[in-house]
Amino acid sequence: MAAVAIPESPGSALGGDEERVEGNAGQDIDASRLLGVSTPDQVFQQWEEFLQSSSETLRDRTLCQGESHDLAVTCPASFKIGGATSSSSGGGVPPRASPAETLKLLETPPGYAATLLSEALRETRTCVSTGRGLLRQLSLFGERCEMEDQGAANKVPANYAEFGAFLPQLEAVRDVLDRCAALTQHLLQQLVALHSLGSTTSYGAQFKGFEQLPPPWPVVEALGELLMLPTTVDGMFLENRAIRDAFCSYEWAVKNPKADDQQISAEAAATLASSLRSFAPMVESRCFTVLLDRLKTELRTLRPEASVSAVRERLMKTLKSELENPEALTKNFSLPASLLIPRICIIVMLTRVWPQPKYDNRTAADIWKVYRNTKPAVVLGGRIVWCLGDFLQAFFPNESSLQEDMHSLRVKQAQRLDEGTFVHEIEKLHRAVQEWLAGIGSTVRALSSGNVSSSLKHADHMVQRGMVLAIKVRGLLEEYLMLHLRTGVPFKQSCLSSITLGFQLLKVIEAGPSTQRWAELSVFLHRRLAFKVHRDVQDTLARLERHQKRSGAIASLGAGLKAVLAALHCILSGAAPADELDEYFDIGALVLCFAGALIAQDNKRHTAVRDQWSELRSSFRWQHQLQNLCDTSWCFWLRRDVFKVLLNDLQSSKSAPRGVLAVPGLCQAFAAPLETLLVVPAAGNDAPNAPVREMRRDVVGTLAIQYLYSLRKDLQEAIIEPLAQSIEDSLRNHVFGVTQSLPDNLTLNIDPRVRSFLWLRPLRLGPKVVVDIKDQVEMRLSKVFYDLTALQPQDAEVYLRMRSLAERRYGLRILEGSLPAGSQDNGLDVINLMKEIDKLAAQYSYSIHQQFFTQSSNQQADKIHIVTLDHVAASVQIHGVGIVNTAAAYSIPFLNQKVQIVAKFINGVKSRLVADERWFEQRKLDGEKGYTWARASETAKEVRAMGSGKDGVSVLDKLRQVVTHIGNSLGYVRMVRNAGLRVIGKSLPVASLLLPPSQKVSPTTSLLEAARSAESGEQLMKAVEVADDLALGVQQRFQTPADHLLILATFFGKPDRKEAALAYGANLFHFLIPALTVSFMDSILLGREALEKRASGSAGVSRKNAYCFDDGFAVGLAFLLRIFGLEKDFQALHWFDSKVDDIGQGGRINTVQGAVNGDGTTSGGAKGGNANANANAWASRRQAELQAELALLDRTLEAASTLFGPPPSLKAKAAPTEGEGGADEEERGEPAGPSEEETPSAD
C-alpha cells in the first residue's frame, strides 16, 4: 500500500517547489503544479487527455490538480486464492470499461473520490465473500468424528489427520485477515482524506462542504463487514475445541519429530513451524485484537489530527444513534448479527485506535444499557454465539456497569423467555405472517386483474414486511435456542410447539412470494422506484441550474447527479454487467452522500433520495436477501439437541392435525444444510489445489451422507416407529375383540393424529431425497406381519384380518404375510427327474390341468417339493430342446415294466372279471343298464381279500398305485414337451405382429410371401427366410402327429404287443376299473383328510400321503384303455352314471378302514356316541363326497383321453384340431372337461 503524507496545515501544501509528496506509484509530484497555480480550464483539458489512456495511468498521475494526493490512496492489490485474481480479466479478452469510465466520474474531483471509494468497496466485497467461504469450510472441522460417535481415543488421530489437510485453508484465512486489516486501514485513510479536503480553504470550491459530510453509509457498512471477519474467526476457534486440540498435537509433532522420520526435511519443517506460529492468533482467538493493534500502529501518524478527530467523532455519533434505536436498524433488512456486531466492532476499533477513555467508557455503558435485557447473546454463524457483555468487558475492563455475571444474566433471559415471552411473541408473529400471506394473495390478484398501480403500491410494502417478519422470527428462534444451549437450561415442554412453529413460519415466509407473478412484480417495482429516484434527482438538478451563485462545488454536484442518472439508466437497461451491478449502486450511493454535504438548504429532501436509492438496491436483491434471512443451515449444529426433541413433541402432541402439519416445514428447515452448507465442491483442473479439493469433496460428501442418515434415523425413531406401533396395537386389539367377542376391545374411531400423519405429503430431506411416512409404515408393518407369520404359521389368519382391516381403515397396502408355497426359479433338474422317474411317479401327485407335480408321500422332510412347468422350462433352456426326445425315450422301459405288471395282475383276477362280465351281460338281458356301485364294492372287497404286501397294502391298492405311476410318467413326458414348446416359442419373435393391419398374413401364408408382397429389401428378405425356416422347423417338431404321448400310445398299442397283453386277459381290464375307482376314492379322501389335519397343526398327525389331487390315476387309465383298445367297451359300462350307494346289507357302510359301521363303531372297532344319528349323518355326507369325486374322475378321464389323440374307431371321422379340447393348455388351449368352478379340486 502506498504511504500517505497529509500536510499538517493548509499552507504547508503550497510551500514551494522543494516539497515532494509520495504518490500512488512511487513517483514524486511537483507541489508547484497543484491546484491554485494552474487554472481550472487547464485542469479540465488535462482530464480529457488522460481519459484516453488506461485506468492505471489515471491512477498513477494526479488528475485533479489540487491537494488530490489526499485522495490518491489506491486500493491494495487484489487478493488471490488458488492462483486466481479477483479483479483480473481472462487472458486475451480486451478489458471492458469500468463503471467510473462509463459514467464519466473522473471529470470531477468528487466523482474521482467516489471512484476510489467504490473500488475499495468492491475489493471489500471480494475479501468478505472469500473469507466467508473459507470459514464455512473450517466450521465443519471435526464434525465427521462427532456424527460418527467415535470414542475419544479415535477422535484425536482422526482430527489430527484432518488438520493436516486443512493447512491450506488456514493459510488462506490468514491471508484474508491480512487483507482485511489493509482494507480497513485504507477506508479509514480515505475518510480522513475526504474530511481534510473540505476543511482546507486552498482546495477551492470543488470540495466545499465535505468537512460537514457524515461518514458515507456504504463505507461504514464495509468497515463493519471487514471487522466481522476476525470476530467470526475468533468465535469459531473459541467454540471448536477439536481444531484447537488438533493444532496443539500437530504443533508438538512438528517441534518434536521422530529420529527415524525422514518424510520431511529440516527446511520444510522450519517452514511448517513458521506457518504454525502465524496461525497462533487464530487458534488463541486473538484475531480481532491483533487487527486492532496493527491499525493502531499504522494509523498513529495519520494527519491532520483535526480531521482524524472529526471522523472519529462523527462515526461514533452516527453509530451510537443507530444502536440506541434498535427499531431503526431493521430498515436495513439484516439479521441482528449483521446489524449489531459490525457497529459495535467499529466502535471498539475507534476506541482502540484513537482512544478517549472517558467518552469511550460512557459509550460502552450506554450501549450495554440498551441491549442488556434484549440481546445478551447473538448468533454469529453456525455454532458461534457472540455475547455482547463478554465482548465489552474484554475491551472496557474499567467500566463499572459491565462488572456483573454475564452467565447469570443469560440464564435469567432464558428463563424469562420460558415464562411466556417466547410463546407470546411467536403467536403474535404467526398472526402477522397470516396477514402478510393474505396481503400477498391480494397483491397477486390485483396484478392478475390488470390493476398494476394498486399491486405496485402494496408489493413494495409486502416485500419489506416479509423481510422484517423473517428477521424477527429468526432472531427470536436463534436467541431462544442458543441461550438455552449456551446456559444449559433445558427446553420447556410448553415451548417446543412454538419452536416448531417458528421453523414452519420461516419456511412459509421463504416460499410466500415465489410465484411467477412476483417475478413480474419485481420488474415493475424496479421501474417504479427508479422513476421516483429519477424524478427527485431531476428536480434537484433543476434547482441547481436556477441557483444564483453557481460555485465550483455546485457544478461538481450537478455532474455527480448526472452520473447517478446515468448509473440508473445502466442498471435498468441491463447495460451494467451482473458482476458490476453492486459497483454501480455503490457509486450512486457515494455520489448522493457527497451531494448531501452540499445541499444543506434541502437536506431532508436529499435524505429521502438516498433512502429511495437504498430501497431500489434492496429491490434488486430482495429474493436473495429473503432466502438468506430464512436460511436454516445453522440447524446443522442443533440437530443432535433439537430435531428429535421437536419430533417427539409433535408425535405425542394432542393438537392434531395442526401439530402434524408442521412436520414438513420442520424437516425442510433441518434439511437446509444439505442444500447450502454440505454442498460437495465441484471438481477442478487446478493441479496445485487438486489434493485439497478432493479432500474437501470427501469430507463434505461424507458429512452430507451422515447428516442425511441422522435425519432419517430421527424420523424413524420419533415418528414412524411409534406411529406403526400405534396402528399395529389398534389393529391387534380390534381383531382380538372380534375373534373373542369382546366389544370393549373394538376401536371404532380412528385417532385423528394417526390419520394426519398418514395423509402427509412425502417429506423432502434433500435435493433428491424424500421420505414418505405412509410408505415407511407400510414397509414396517409388512415386515412385522411376515416375521410373526413365519414364527407362528397358525396365526396367519389373524394377520390376514389385520392386513385387510389396515387397508379399509387407514388405506395401508400391506404386503401378503403368508409364507410362499414354493420356489418358482429353483426346481429339480430335468436330467435328475429323468434318471429317477420311478421316484417321481411313486412319490408325487400330478395335476392334469395346471401341469405340475407335488410331493404326496415321503413327507418327513420340512419342505414339500413341487415340479412346475416353469422349473422344467428353465432346465430345458439350460440343456437344450434335444432333451425332449431323450426324456420320452427314457420313459419307455419304465412304462413297459408297469404295463406288464398290469397284464399279469389281470390274469390273476381273471375269474372274478369273467364273473363280472357274465353278471353285466345278464343285467343287460334283464333290461337294466350300467355297472352298479354295489357290484364294484363287492369286486373291490373280493380282490382285497386276495392278500396284501409286507407293508399291509392290499393288492388292489397296489394295482391302483401302478396305474398312477403310469399316468405320472406320461405326465412328466407331457411337461417336458410343453416346456420345450415354451422355450422355443419365447426365442422366436412374433413377426406377424410387426406388420401393418393391411398386410396381416393368414395362418396359411408364410412370412416370406408377405415380405415379397410388400416389396421388402434384400436384407429383410434374407432375415424373413431364416425366420420362416425356424418357424417351420418348430411346427414340424411340435405338431400333433409328432406328439410324444400319441407316439407312446401308438407304440404300446401295436398288434404284437396288444396280442401279448390279451393273452393275459387284458381284454377284461375295463371290468376292473370300477373296483380301482373305489380304491381311488378311498385313497383321495384319506389324503385330503390328512392334509386338513396337517394344516390345522394337530399333534400326532402323520406327515405321510397328504394330498388333494392325483390325476395320474386318470391318465394311467386312459393310456391303458387306449393301448388295450377297450375305450368303447368301458364306455358301454356307463360306470360313471351309477349312483353311489354305500350302504350294504345289515346297515354297514361299505368302505375301507376308517368308515363308521351301523352299530356305532368304526372299522377299527371303537364305540362311538349317538351311533345311529352319527352314522346316518356321516353316511349322507360321505355319499355326497363320493358322488362328486366320481363325477370329477369322469371329466378328468375324458380330458386325459384327448392327450392320446382320437381312438382308432374315430379316426375316419373328422378329428379335432389343436386347440379344440383336451387338457393340454400349452398344446390345445382349454381342456375338454369341466370348468374351474365345476372341478375345484383339479385346480
Q: Which residues 6+ apart lie within 8 Å of 1032 measured at CB?
A: none
Pick the range with the lowest mean pLDDT from 471-480, 723-732, 1006-1015. 1006-1015
**What is the H or E stretch that residue 381 is in?**
strand 377-381
pLDDT at residue 150 above 60?
Answer: no
**633 Cβ contact list (under 8 Å, min separation 6):** 672, 673, 676, 677
E strand spans, 1028-1112: none
Q: Respond yes or no on whether the N-terminal peptide bond of residue 397 is cis (omega within 30° of 0).
A: no
Nearest residue to 978 via CA among 1050, 1063, 1043, 1064:
1043
Q: Over 50: is that where the pLDDT of 994 sits?
A: no
| Residue 332 C-beta-side C-alpha neighbours within 13 Å | 19
Query: Which ranges constitute the DSSP H helices of 82-108?
Result: 99-103
Checking if the pLDDT of 1151 tops 50, the result is: no
Predicted pLDDT of residue 1014: 72
> What average pLDDT does this structure show over 667-683?
80
- CA–CA dist 98, 563 (Å, integer): 13
> What is the C-alpha to C-alpha distance for residues 590 and 557, in angstroms, rounded to an integer?
12
Q: Grid coordinates standing for 1089? A: 383328510
Burial of 259 (0-12, 13-18, 19+ CB in 10 A): exposed
Residue 521 pairs in a beta bridge with none
Q: 84 or 432, which is more confident? A: 432
C-alpha distances in angstroms, 516 versus 445, 447, 513, 844, 1228? 13, 11, 9, 71, 64
* E strand or H helix at 846: strand 844-847
Predicted TM-score (pTM) of this structure: 0.63
Rounded distance, CA 1157 to CA 1144, Å? 10
On whether the CB atoms of residues 220 and 315 are closer than 8 A, the answer is yes
Q: Report which of 529, 532, 596, 531 is spatially closest to residue 561, judged by C-alpha positions.
A: 596
**Are residues 842 and 961 in contact, defined by beta-carbon separation less than 8 angstroms?**
yes
Measured distance between the N- and C-terminal CA atoms of the chain, rounded to whole angstroms: 96
Cα–Cα distance for residue pair 859/661, rounded to 1 Å: 57
* Residue 479 pLDDT class (50, 70, 90 cuts): confident
How far apart are alpha carbons 978 and 1221 in whole angstroms?
16
pLDDT of residue 20: 34
Distance CA 19, CA 900 (A): 138
Residue 720 DSSP symbol = I
Question: What number of other Cβ atoms are within 10 A of residue 820's Cβ?
Answer: 7
* CB-based contacts of 508, cutoff 8 Å, min separation 6: 433, 437, 665
Contacts (Cβ under 8 Å, ≥6 apart) of 855: 843, 844, 845, 864, 865, 866
Asked if residue 1044 lies in contact with residue 890, where contact means CB atoms within 8 angstroms, the answer is no
Average pLDDT (632-657) is 81
Reading the block at residue 1121, the C-alpha cell is 384303455
Lowest model confidence (mean pLDDT) among 682-696, 934-948, 1194-1208: 682-696
* Secondary structure element (H or E) that encloses residue 845, with its range: strand 844-847
Residue 84 pairs in a beta bridge with 81
**Beta-ladder partners of 20:** 30
3-state DSSP percent of the chain in helix, strand and coil, to 5: 70, 5, 25
Q: How confident is the model at residue 836 (pLDDT cuts 50, 70, 90)?
A: confident
pLDDT band of 1038, cuts 50, 70, 90: low
Beta carbons within 8 Å of 1229's beta carbon, 6+ residues apart: 1218, 1219, 1220, 1221, 1222
Over its C-alpha atoms, the chain yields an Rg (Å, rounded) of: 50
Q: What is the torsion angle, in degrees rounded to the nearest 10, for the CA atoms of residue 1197, residue 1203, residue 1206 and residue 1207?
A: -60
Identify residue 1039 by its one-letter amino acid code.
Answer: Q
- Report the distance separating Cα 289 and Cα 272, nearest Å: 24
What tens digit of pLDDT does each residue of 35-79 get? Answer: 333 344 444 444 444 344 433 443 343 333 333 333 333 333 333
- How confident is the model over 931-986, as pLDDT tens digits? 898 899 999 999 888 888 888 888 888 999 999 999 999 998 988 888 888 877 76
Confidence of residue 127 (pLDDT cuts 50, 70, 90): very high
Label residue 325 left, alpha or beta by phi (over 0 means left) and psi (-120 to 50 means alpha).
beta
Sign of the alpha-carbon torsion through 138, 141, 144, 149: negative
Give the percent of the chain with pLDDT over 90.
11
The rounded distance, in Å, linking the Cα atoms of 1086 and 148 is 63
Q: What is the pLDDT of residue 892?
A: 87
Cell numbers representing residue 496 in the block? 417446543
How far apart CA 102 and CA 99 sit, in angstroms, is 5
On whether the CB atoms of residues 813 and 945 are closer than 8 A, the answer is: no
Q: Map residue 51 onto helix, strand or coil.
A: coil
What sign for the dihedral angle of Cα 197, 198, 202, 205?
positive
DSSP output for 928-950: --S--HHHHHHHHHHHHTT-B-T
Cell for 1045? 404321448
Residue 624: pLDDT over 50: yes
Q: How far is CA 905 from CA 469, 955, 1125, in A?
A: 101, 9, 18
Count of C-beta atoms within a 10 Å radius of residue 757: 24
Instruction: Give the single-character DSSP code of 574.
Output: T
pLDDT tier, 1061 (very low <50, low <70, confident <90, very high otherwise): low
Cα-flanking dihedrals φ and ψ of residue 774, to 5°?
Answer: -65, -45
1112, 961 Cβ separation under 8 angstroms: no
Mean pLDDT of the chain: 75
Tell me which DSSP letter residue 1216 carries: P
Q: Answer for the pair 944, 955: CB distance below 8 angstroms, yes or no.
A: yes
Q: Does residue 259 surpass a pLDDT of 60? A: no
